[in-house]
Amino acid sequence: MPEDTLKGEFVLNKDGKAETAAPNKPAAKLLEHNHTHNSAGIFSSLCEYPHNISFKHQDEDEEVVLLIRRDFITNLPWILSIFLLGLLPPVLLVAGPIFFPFISISPALSTLAVAFYYLVLAGFALLYYAIWYFNVGLVTNKRIVDLDVPNILVNETSEAALESIADVSFTQVGTIRSIFNYGDVFVQTEAIRNNLEFDRAPEPNLIRKIIGDLAVHE
C-alpha cells in the first residue's frame, strides 16, 4: 500500500508509529512561570497571580492564579449608611437642645457617648469589610477554592479539582451589573452537589475564560 494514501488525524511516520495531531494549548500562557505576579491590595476584588496571598492547606507546588471577591461597588450601601450615620451627632448637638430641652447631661458624658457612637460605627464598618474581604474565591493551578462567609460567625469552604470541572458559565443581569461589569460565575463540577458560585464577581467573562482555559488545559 503506498504511504501517501494514508491520511487523516493519525499519520504514520517512517518508523510506522502513529503521531497524533498537536493539541491546542489555549491556557499554556496561564501556566507558564514567567507570567507577571501582581500584589493583591486591601480593596482588590480581582487579581491575577497574586503573590502575597496564601491559604490553609495550600500545597508547596500550588500557585494562586486568580483571586476573586465581590466587586467593591457592592459595598457602597453600607459605606454610604455609615457615612450618613456619622453625620448624625453634629446634627443632634445643634438640634438636640431645641427639640429636647428637658434632656440635660454633663458635657463629659455626652462626649463619651459620642465617642462610643463612633466606636460602634467603626465596629460595624470593620464587620462589613471583613465579611466582604473573607468572601473569597481562589483559582489555583490545581483546584478552585471558594470561601463563603455569610456572617462573621459562619464560614463555608468548598473546593473542586480543575479536572472535575464540567462547565463554567456566568450571568450578568440588570443595569447596575452591566454598567459596573460584575455578575455571577457558576462552576459546574462532575459531582452531584459540589457546584461553586462566585456571586457579584468583577469581569465575569474574564473569570469564566480563565477557569475554562485552566480546566481544558488539565
Partner 1 sequence: MNLEDILNFIGQLSSNQDILVKIALILVLLLFTLFTLVLGRQISVLTHLIHQVTFSSVLRGVAYILTILSILLIIAVIFV
Helix, strand, or coil here: 145? strand
Beta bridge partners of 195: none
Asked if 160 contacts 191 with a C-beta cutoff of 8 angstroms, the reply is yes
- Among 27, 138, 160, 211, contact with partner 1 (rule: CB under 8 A): 138
For residue 171, the minimal CB distance to partner 1 (Å) is: 26
Is 99 a binding residue for partner 1 by CB under 8 A? The answer is no
Is 90 a binding residue for partner 1 by CB under 8 A? The answer is no
Beta bridge partners of 123: none
Nearer to partner 1, 147 or 216 (CB): 147
- Given the DSSP bridges, would you call strands 182-189 and 165-171 parallel, antiparallel or unpaired? antiparallel
Q: Tell me which residues in 20-79 interact with partner 1 (CB under 8 A).
A: 40, 42, 52-56
Q: 190 vs 49, 86, 171, CA distance in Å?
A: 26, 49, 20
Asked if 121 contacts 85 with a C-beta cutoff of 8 angstroms, the reply is yes
Question: In this chain, which stretch among 15-23, 70-78, 112-120, 182-190 interacts with partner 1, using CB under 8 A?
Answer: 112-120
Buried b (16+ CB within 10 A) or exposed e, 70-97: bbbbbbeebeeeeeeeeeebeeeeeeee
- Alpha-carbon distance 183 to 13, whole Å? 50
For residue 148, the minimal CB distance to partner 1 (Å) is: 11
Q: Tell me which residues in 174-203 interact with partner 1 (CB under 8 A).
A: none
For residue 160, the minimal CB distance to partner 1 (Å) is: 17
Is 169 a binding residue for partner 1 by CB under 8 A? The answer is no
For residue 146, the minimal CB distance to partner 1 (Å) is: 11
Is 115 a binding residue for partner 1 by CB under 8 A? The answer is yes
Residues in contact with partner 1 by CB under 8 A are 40, 42, 52-56, 103-106, 108-109, 112-113, 115-116, 119-120, 122-123, 126-127, 130, 133-134, 136, 138, 147, 149, 152-153, 155, 157
